[in-house]
Structure 1
């Protein structure tokens, strides 16, 4: 069947907003306990539940109605539950208390201290307790107090304080004998990807910790995922060479040994608890994931000979690695398949899908494949991204017409976009949009030096990379320079607002809970990020001039193109007043502007119906601004001054 000629943007797509959100789940939190496999799923209704697959290969939900497995430690959470000893311990979102549950039974309240939050728990079988990161909001201090505590598995105690004094803690891990504890700690103004410390201590007879040893880390060295091997050696990931590589601690002489030095990233930015990129099949075999130039790989490492052997897998993204003898479980995706929880037999090298985030319904003839892109940017640097050309077997563009370009900027800003199949991108490319997903300066996956290009340059280097990526594609003659749009959430929303305010390149933009006032963010945000801007911009209030200079709300007279703002009204990280101020200012200036809000949503929407509404609102907005007809009926959005 011949393709129909139609204006880019107006193509009829086989993908609806329901396909993007309502039919998908989020997968994370893989844990193994005996012959049971556990993971957590965030569902379209906004609730997260724990799922268990037993030895008979049957999966079942463990979390009953009325419970939502999600911690608010650091606000971003992760490490929401522990599966160990035949039971589970989890944080419930509504009250932030921990509950204990035996499969098949109702959860029982495990902690009873209001104002406390818990994350990243492990089981200490020797002492009959769990060890957990606790965030205390009851002290009356300006910020909560973080610590490592132990709580008896019999419950009903307030917990024993183990480690305190640092601003943040993560990843408590016991050695196989249960005699020593390793953990990570760091202090303001560092974020965990800037500098952390790895500590080890032995237990005393009363269950407290004795003399402590600093193994590695500091203010300029980021440590990731300490883990004990089955024979009691401590392994971890450090970026001391400029790349997150694997190391182990030689306790006899206090030295640290590099295991397979290479220009690759074995670690990730620790926005959440419970992250894992490696595990042990035995004392002699380690299985690890790593990324190079944005693409992930899986490999085995012989811990005796240090022989490093990559596997040949179709995955482009791998995370949440958990290993048992003969098997490794992880979350993976590829350029042609959405994310799934998979089981890999590394002896036979057979891979099996356990659970997909959603079923694949898109015919490959509609699928746009990520193309890695490097392009020149400011000050002679090279920036990175993934380009997705428009693709729909049923349509071609009009003669002499080039497609509109949608530039996407990820959140963080210390984060990364990945080359995986996402319906959220195919939604645009099947309608005739080209998409550039940018890994701007500050993104992870390209080494510490690339991350640190954003030091003191937030709102400048990242925005320049987005702008230069669009200019590069225009210069290559593959997109329409008169129909350029930019979109992003959180830090990506800030990049959107800055690009529209300080450059005259884009013709429209969409900001999802984006920062418009850096000064307000510095004053109002939560503890985890309260000093984040010291490194990204400068110390506040000493460098208030920089905060004002880079805040779009203070330069609204320079913004002269249409904008849609999308905001959750319960957002504690970017409060809704920032979007409201931007909307009011643009409306007063007479620019086309829309403001879409969602009650009950925080920083990153969890309800499918709200995500669907937001996506359709963005498409509708572009259709009115770029003047193309939509192929389907869609609820109109009120656009002021159109």
Structure 2
């Protein structure tokens, strides 16, 4: 029997604890000698990243027991942390950031890099095979001082016997993707300089050891995001000279051929080192990701054709074995898992094993893929999720509250794969809209660059347009709308609350709040993003007034409603100092607010206990603002 009850007060089997436990997400998938390997996060083990492989019986095998944590801090977001050479796996360890080798059956892993003089002072990522299977290539990050921007990087070779490292290249401030040519005589890599981010402009470089390098592709306004050797004389390259990441064949003489010209994104933003959006199948065919969807590029026909599968969101970890694709993938009703997909038969095998704790499908919302229109005529893609619970319906004639979810980056993207966090809210009677505002990836360079110098304007307006349109349509209750997001999404949430009256409240997670401090001069962010803001807002000191005018920290008195702030105390990307100052300004203001901090958490929450506490606090917060009582959730204490 369906019960009519206030939106937000519905009972649901999706507790915050079950949502937190679901964060066992796979990443860094690859195939070695037909065996699938991957890493997976473990929220119930304080966010440890475990190294896994496929066992002889097809079941997952944990390669390294706790407390080994296969993760690194390069760029603070990390990069590919392992590679297999023969019967040996080489990996980075979070505890000391050193590189280790391990052969199953040995007593314990052995370090092959020196112990740094300062804690986490040497970091390594983007591991790939070196010469003759006896060494590893990777990007090394060396901390040279106490400021976040005191960092230098080079590409090094690490012999497995621990006799290295040997520095090979230090051509740019940022480096990625070291690859040896098949004959071992040349090295290819990507490089870029401040203030560019890798999706703005990178160079594809090639050199013979000991000789000056040549840039074969890329530049200040062309972004190469992946390059692999095809032969000793040619490389396969994802780059965007015409505004879309397409697949090219580039010779050592610089000649370039687009294998299937299209206005489609076959690559993506290089947020983490070691991402892979394509892999060769042979005979002129390639597996590619077309805006997260799996597709096959045929260079002879010049076509890119989607693969027919219910898995609509594929990770940038594409690998192949024969005519089988291996990666992490999910869909609207499927959480991310390591899968094999046979391109001949379309048969899909879940390598990482089926999830046994999935909530009943009738509680899972399906996204309505919509495109909204901004006042100036731009398109705004969004995924809209309406309340879904087989046991409940809303009040007669009423409409649900809306949570506008803002993805991070801001050069990121909201996919449509199943997220229990969304179902946690929709199964209780709340609607959710995940907005791909101007600046999001997946829609070409022009769409990405619509946010240039407009951060805090275009993103804020686009999210508000989606919210207002849904309210005007009667789909949601326009008087009960909230905006929520983390990192850059936290910025947009805070900027929305200090510049608009669209929302009744906001949840602001590990945010940017003070633009001037979040620069290389202000010293409150890490080196990788320390000049990102120049493209998003403008250069200092020319645009100092713009920085001050847009910073939510300078407009606490203009907040349109209550706010909840959530912050990890070990966050080096968006440090707690910004949230601390914001909350200090709020205390005594009379505006209801709450501030929860989490020990041991960096940028984003990895521990199950943190995710549980954050979700329960958020739901209680909405209940107090919107006027409903969520069952089974502790009451969050608001202060003013």
Distance 2:373 2:354 in 1: 35
Tell me how far 1:304 sits from its aligned partner: 4.9
Which of 470, 479, 488 pairs up with 2:476?
A: 479
Tell me how far 1:211 sits from its aligned partner: 4.2
Distance 1:3 1:233 in 2: 63
The residue that corresponds to 1:73 in the other structure is 74
The residue that corresponds to 2:314 in the other structure is 318
Which of 100, 104, 110 pairs up with 2:112?
A: 110
Residues 1:577 and 1:601: Cα distance change in structure 2 (over 3 Å): same
The residue that corresponds to 1:205 in the other structure is none
Residues 1:541 and 1:359: Cα distance change in structure 2 (over 3 Å): farther
The residue that corresponds to 1:585 in the other structure is 585
* SS of residue in 2 equivalent to 1:463: helix
Number of equivalent positions: 628
State whether residues 328 and 345 of structure 1, in contact with CA within 8 Å, keep that contact through their aligned partners in structure 2: yes
State whether residues 266 and 288 of structure 1, in contact with CA within 8 Å, keep that contact through their aligned partners in structure 2: yes
Matched, 1:179 2:191: no
Q: Which moved more, 1:238-247 or 1:372-381?
A: 372-381
* SS of residue in 2 equivalent to 1:339: strand
Q: Which moved more, 1:30-39 or 1:496-505?
A: 30-39
The residue that corresponds to 2:136 in the other structure is 130
The residue that corresponds to 2:161 in the other structure is 154
The residue that corresponds to 1:384 in the other structure is 381
Distance 1:232 1:287 in 2: 22
The residue that corresponds to 2:296 in the other structure is 300
Counterparts of residues 6-21 of structure 1 (less than 5 Å): 6-21=5-20
Distance 1:231 1:57 in 2: 36
Distance 1:140 1:3 in 2: 60
Distance 1:139 1:603 in 2: 22
Matched, 1:196 2:202: yes
What do the CA deviations read for 1:484-514 (whole angstroms, capped 9, x no partner)? Answer: 0111001101111111111011001100111
Distance 2:547 2:40 in 1: 39
Tell me how far 1:428 sits from its aligned partner: 0.6
What do the CA deviations read for 1:98-130 (whole angstroms, capped 9, x no partner)? Answer: 111112321111101402110011122338322
Q: Which moved more, 1:492-501 or 1:101-110?
A: 101-110
Counterparts of residues 348-367 of structure 1 (less than 5 Å): 348-355=345-352, 358-359=355-356, 361-367=358-364
Distance 1:369 1:623 in 2: 24
Please list every run of 5 or more consecutive structure 2 residues that lacks an aligned counterpart in the other structure.
none
Residues 1:357 and 1:600: Cα distance change in structure 2 (over 3 Å): farther
Distance 2:297 2:556 in 1: 54
The residue that corresponds to 2:58 in the other structure is 57
Tell me how far 1:607 sits from its aligned partner: 0.5
Distance 2:307 2:414 in 1: 23
* SS of residue in 1 equivalent to 2:614: helix
Residues 1:69 and 1:561: Cα distance change in structure 2 (over 3 Å): same
The residue that corresponds to 2:96 in the other structure is 95
The residue that corresponds to 2:435 in the other structure is 438
Calculate the TM-score normalised by the size of structure 2. Answer: 0.95
Distance 1:169 1:336 in 2: 37
State whether residues 25 and 358 of structure 1, in contact with CA within 8 Å, keep that contact through their aligned partners in structure 2: no
The residue that corresponds to 1:508 in the other structure is 505
The residue that corresponds to 2:608 in the other structure is 608
The residue that corresponds to 2:560 in the other structure is 560
State whether residues 8 and 430 of structure 2, in contact with CA within 8 Å, keep that contact through their aligned partners in structure 1: yes
* SS of residue in 1 equivalent to 2:248: strand
Calculate the TM-score normalised by the size of structure 1. Answer: 0.95
Residues 1:126 and 1:304: Cα distance change in structure 2 (over 3 Å): farther
Matched, 1:346 2:326: no
The residue that corresponds to 1:535 in the other structure is 535
The residue that corresponds to 1:214 in the other structure is 215
* SS of residue in 1 equivalent to 2:247: strand
State whether residues 87 and 103 of structure 1, in contact with CA within 8 Å, keep that contact through their aligned partners in structure 2: yes
Please list every run of 5 or more consecutive structure 1 residues that lacks an aligned counterpart in the other structure.
203-207
